[in-house]
Chains A and B, each alone.
Chain A
Amino acid sequence: MKEFLLGKINMDSLPHEWFTFGGSLAFIGLGLFLVIVITRLKRWNWLWKEWITTVDPKKIGIMYFLVSGFMLVRGGLETLMIWLQQSFSVDKSHGFLTADHFQQIFTAHGNIMVFFVAMGFIFGLINYIVPLQIGARDLASPFLNTLGFWLFAAGAIMVSMFFLLGGQYAATGWLAVAPLSGKEFSPGVGVDYWIWSLQISGIGTTLGAINFVMTILKMRAPGMSLGKMPLFTWGAFCSMIMAVAVFPLLTATLFLMFFDRYLGAHFFTTVGGGDPMMYTNLIWMWGHPEVYILMLPCFGIFSEVVSTFSRKPIASYKSNVLGMIGVSTFALSVWLHHFFTMGAGADVNAFFGVMTMIIAIPTSALVFNWIATMYKGRINFSTPMLWFLGFIAVFSIGGMSGVLLAIPPADFQLHNSLFLVAHFHSMVIGGVLFGVFCGISYWFPKFTGLRLNERIGRYAFWFWTIGFCLSFIPMYILGLMGATRRLDHYDSSTGWRPLFIVMLVGGIVIAVGLALQIVQIIATFIQKNHLRDTTGDPWNARSLEWATASPPPFYNFTTIPEVSSIDAFWEMKHNGIPETKYQDIHIPKNTAAGFYISCFAFLVGFAFVWEIVWLAVVSIIGIIVVFIFRGFNDEPEYILTAREVQDLEEARTKKHLERTKLANDDDTEDMGVIDFIKIVISFAKDIVVNKRWRKW
């Protein structure tokens, strides 16, 4: 009976180690804190109506940022734990982590950073910016978009669930290679949590990607042919097409892995005729394009930023677009370079090696294009541009080490060494993360109507870049010295230790950079009158997202703009902005269906992790019922009349005038870190001395 009700859950599943205790306390504490704050502020209704059931891609974008920002801090803590261990676990000392725990940490680090940080930020930016850039009012299917986000959120919770129940995450590396991830070698629930967190968020990604392909192909403003689409939208489009093409492979592969573990099938086992290398092939057929799915929208961001901040149109729009299409096409046929050592033979290895090197051609076309755009431009070195320049440096080094790794004989030496780890961190931090930071600092005025604090932003940039070099240049060297990845202990006679310590120092510098970014955002809101962007176009930008208010109204545009050139907004600014005509607008209604389905999907995953059959059945039925109700019963839209739009616009203009006045009266400067600390101290003093906490 107990087994029927609770499956494999028993007393041993509860937390009983320091890290599970810590994680559980953090998990429950954070949950309780949020519940108390929301209840005290009486914001439950607001939360439900404005956020949980929203179909507005702008709000969903913000929610993606919040989840990903939180996960970035968590994944960052794991980095520090890894490097601390590697700095101290030498000779007789075995550091503060057991080998098994260390393995779980680097596995979780990889999963969190790729799936819940990079992917989330990218989807957040695409959600917020793409509809604005193409002059659309919303997405092709607003419902699919909420569903995609909430599945992503459910996956993010699932990846942390092991703290509360089970006490272990997968100890297999971020792709859970077979046969290590099979039941025989990983009998615990760690790999099951891995499967279901990726499965749930991966299905969310597929749905989101389908939605964006539909949106970009079918909902562009009149006059915007594919050849006039802004470059960020192009990057997003290539990326989403790739996601549609490869995420189903992940879904299918994870199901096969699930059959192996749950039903005792023999796909990837070493016995019964299974083929473990087939798993490696299948997972990398998804895994390699995945990094380009992250990278392409960032290429788009950089193209926008470099042309805006150089006050020039992009040097060659066509070669830029072709570069992106080239990268996304070639990226589908290089997966085998992740395992040249499999023994596929010289012919196969040579093919994949050559294909991998060919990718460098469209990528360099992009890089040269950006450099040519800067040439003779009037460059404005604001933070977005700094992130771009940092990217060019780091990404070029990473790219060249990638070409080196693409040579099969060299790869046989460097395979699974820290050289490889340094290479892909150059790409993912230097490319994707810097791209995301570049995009967020560029579009922050769009999100909030406030310019980001420039001064602290510069500090953050330099801390990140210097920290990055301190951590990853030693890592390249260590790799060449023969240090393999995922080491939890080594001998001091190798001479690696000083470099590992430098890496740790670099990690701390990066952590300071991350902290400064959080400070930067808080400081921006403290000085919101001073930093108010009164113009609506703070960077003298070129594309359509700046042609509406900041932050944009929920219907995006009062009048859908007509487009006649690549730089649609630039054209508008020079030929006169067309008069506003108020008109009736169809607005999609809020829906809770996406949230409910994701709750059930979470329960399905949880039930399969713990083998609770009844819960799985009930939750699957729940998903089907919600789908049927959503499909047949919802009234998806309502009409906002021209009159209402006019009232909203007039109210907004009035408010804007008031704010402009406040902003003009405020002649302070961007605060620095010291000012910020002073403000925080005086705020804390105020609470303690004046006993403000009593109100709570």
Chain B
Amino acid sequence: MVNEQTPTHHQAEADDRALFGFWIYLMTDLLMFSVLFAVYAVLHDNTDGGKTGKELFDLNLALTGTIILLVSSFTCGVGMIAARAGRKNQVLTWFGLTFILGLSFLALEFNEFSILIREGHTIQSNAFLSSFFALVGTHGLHIIAGLLWIAVTLGYIVKRGLNSNMVRKLAMLSLFWHFLDIVWIFIFTIVYLRAFV
């Protein structure tokens, strides 16, 4: 905020602060997930006579979803390299790919949820399923938010070109996306893999 600095320096400081703030936000989000994980850990055996995770989950499906999401993190990372190099078309391609992969992940999850619900295993069935739907569903909602964010950002990049402001927004977006990936790895381990141990 001091005048002796050039305007770009001022902008760089603001960017630095924004990114730092976004990191803190991610930590608060992680804490929300930690509550959901803790709740799942407490309640995962409370099936109230219903089916257990082992009987309900399809590990292959979950693994497919995991691989899709991991690949999307990779494409997102490559997109970020392109963004820092200022290559607009590559950014559109790689983030477009990320979007499609994210959407397929979401479709898989939607499919899983709808099968469970159709067979009568809903959030109301028992505490185990309540905590399952809350944890995995919250992650899914974050993915939806991420997809919306990607779509809007790409729209603005097409319209206005890839300026430094957009690169900053992409940097936050990619942080968010990788964050969701990390959370998913924990979900995959604690919810799906653990059920089959």
Using a CB–CB cutoff of 8 Å, the interface residues on chain A facing chain B are 136-138, 140-141, 144, 206, 210-211, 213-214, 217-219, 244-245, 247-249, 251-253, 255-256, 259-260, 263-267, 269, 271-275, 278, 282, 560, 583-586, 624, 628, 631-632, 642
Contacts and interface: CB of A to CB of B under 8 A. Distances in A.
Interface stretch (B57-65, B105-113, B126-134, B175-183): B126-134
6 contacts: A144-B21, A218-B17, A219-B17, A266-B130, A267-B130, A560-B2
B28 A206 contact: yes
B152 A273 contact: no
Given A586-B10, A628-B152, A631-B169, A275 B46 contact: yes
B197 interface: no
A144 B24 CA distance: 13
Contacts of B152: 628, 632
Contacts of B127: 266-267, 269, 272-275
Nearest to B123: A265
Nearest to B159: A632
Given A206-B28, A245-B31, A273 B128 contact: yes
B156 A632 contact: yes
Contact of B124 (A218, A219, A265, A278): A265
Contact of A585 (B1, B27, B38, B156): B1
B148 A624 contact: yes
A97 to B, nearest CB: 36
3 closest residue pairs by CB, A with B: A273-B46, A273-B127, A583-B3
Contact of B35 (A213, A253, A265, A631): A253
A278 B43 CA distance: 10
A86 B3 CA distance: 63
B130 A217 contact: no
A263 B32 contact: no
B123 A560 contact: no
A263 B156 CA distance: 37
A181 to B, nearest CB: 16
Contacts of B42: 275, 278
Interface of B: 1-4, 10, 13, 16-18, 20-21, 24-25, 27-29, 31-32, 35-36, 38-39, 42-43, 46-48, 123-128, 130-131, 133-134, 148, 152, 156, 169
A583 B10 CA distance: 14
Contacts of B43: 267, 273-275, 278
A283 B13 CA distance: 38
Contacts of A218: 13, 16-17, 20
A642 B3 contact: yes
Contacts of B24: 210, 213-214, 244
Given A214-B20, A256-B134, A583-B3, A247 B28 contact: yes
Contacts of A249: 31-32, 35
Contacts of A628: 152
A41 to B, nearest CB: 35
A443 B125 CA distance: 56
A263 B3 contact: no
Nearest to A141: B21
A259 B3 contact: no
Is chain B's interface secondary structure helix, strand, loop, or mixed overall?
Answer: helix
A653 to B, nearest CB: 21
Contacts of B46: 266, 272-275
Contacts of A244: 24, 27-28
Contacts of B21: 140-141, 144, 210-211, 214
Contacts of A631: 169
Contacts of A137: 1
A265 B134 contact: yes
Contacts of A210: 21, 24-25, 28
A268 B49 CA distance: 18
B39 A267 contact: yes
A213 B169 CA distance: 21
Contacts of B126: 266, 272-273
Contacts of B27: 244
Contacts of A206: 28
B116 to A, nearest CB: 14
Contacts of A136: 1
B100 to A, nearest CB: 21
A161 to B, nearest CB: 26
B48 to A, nearest CB: 4
Nearest to B22: A210
B28 A248 contact: yes
Given A272-B46, A624-B148, 18 more contacts: A136-B1, A140-B18, A141-B17, A141-B18, A210-B24, A210-B25, A217-B20, A248-B31, A251-B32, A252-B32, A259-B130, A264-B123, A266-B124, A272-B124, A282-B39, A560-B2, A584-B3, A631-B169
A134 to B, nearest CB: 12
A631 B145 CA distance: 14
A629 B17 CA distance: 21
A264 B133 CA distance: 12
A245 to B, nearest CB: 7
Nearest to B47: A273
Contacts of B10: 586
A259 B13 CA distance: 41
B1 A263 contact: no
A251 B126 CA distance: 22
A260 B31 CA distance: 20
Contacts of A586: 1, 10
